[in-house]
Amino acid sequence: MSARSSCRRAALCGLVIAVNGATAHAATDATHDFARYQVILDHAPFGAMAGPSTDTQQPPFSARFTFVGTVKLSDNEPLQAIILDKEGNHVYFKAEGEDVGTVVVFKIDKDDKAGAKLVLKQGLEIATLVMDGKSAGTAPGPGAPAAPGQPPPPGQPPIPGPGVRRVPFRRGG
């Protein structure tokens, strides 16, 4: 054997021993018990740990919305939720999957007995707005006649009541 091959063999054996030692050491560290650090945690070297205060909770993103009702324009159209944005004082008619800014209408559940539910999603946060069965109603779609006692939709002439007639008006002299 030459000196060069014996040097390579010694280096290879050293490498094998080092790798086996490293894997054995890593295997014992994986099952390490952290109870020995409890003494340090009990002494609180950096002061007492303070979690988030419950008094300063931010309102959820859904606090700015009010679920007003549902509307279905026709049989082949999806059910839409009527959502009031309190911050902008704006009303939105949105179906499932549509968005109001960064908030997505995730699901609309309409149940005659339990009321209607609207599930909103913003990022990973999900909020449910509930409307009880007493106030829940379905608004008529555009072009539908108005309910009795309600003003007609924009663009339609007013419906005269019984005993009411139009008085003609003539100008000047």
* Residue 95, pLDDT score: 92
Tell me the domain boundaries of the chain.
Answer: 61-136
Contact yes or no for 80/95 (Cβ under 8 A): yes
Mean pLDDT to the nearest integer, 123-132: 83
Q: How far apart are CA 1 and CA 109, in angstroms?
A: 84
The per-residue pLDDT for range 2-36, each reduced to its tens digit, is: 777 777 787 777 767 766 665 555 555 556 677 88
Q: What is the pLDDT of residues 36-93, one digit of tens each?
A: 888 887 887 877 766 655 454 445 788 888 888 888 888 888 889 999 988 888 899 9
Question: What fold does the segment set 61-136 form as a domain?
Answer: SH3 type barrels. (2.30.30)
The candidate with the shortest Cα–Cα distance to 79, out of 69, 89, 68, 67, is: 69
What is the dihedral angle through the alpha carbons of 115, 121, 127, 133, rounded to the nearest 10 degrees?
-10
pLDDT of residue 115: 77
Contact 82, 98 (CB under 8 A): no
Q: What are phi and psi of 107, to 5 degrees?
A: -155, 145
Q: What is the pLDDT of residue 57?
A: 44
